Amino acid sequence: MSSTFETIANIIAETCDIPRDSITPESHAINDLGIDSLDFLDIAFAIDKAFGIKLPLEQWTQEVNDGKATTEQYFVLKNLSARIDELVAAKGA
């Protein structure tokens, strides 16, 4: 079974036409990969479907806008993977 990172990297590569080998766990989806908010909706949709979750994009955006979180916490892919794992675990709890 592929890791969470592998799954989201493949989703990003396919959804945004970004070379797969340029996507690393350290990549920032916005700053490094140039993904804008509309493209990220496609990614979120694919992630929601793949993992059976609902990425709380609005909550994350609000936290960033309020200065309570940084974009790195949610949009660096290793961190995004960790957030997804948490959501999957919470769903199964």
Which stretches of the chain bind other proteins, using CB under 8 A?
38, 41-42, 44-45, 48-49, 54-59, 61
Q: Would you state the structure tokens that stand for residue 60, as one six-digit string?
A: 């994350």
What is the number of H-type helices and E-type strands within the chain?
5, 0
Is 27 in contact with 33 (CB distance < 8 Å)? Answer: yes
Nearer to other proteins among residue 44 and residue 84 (C-beta): 44
Q: Return the biggest CA–CA distance within the chain.
A: 37
Shortest CB 42 distance to other proteins, Å? 8
Shortest CB 62 distance to other proteins, Å? 10
Nearer to other proteins among residue 36 and residue 72 (C-beta): 36
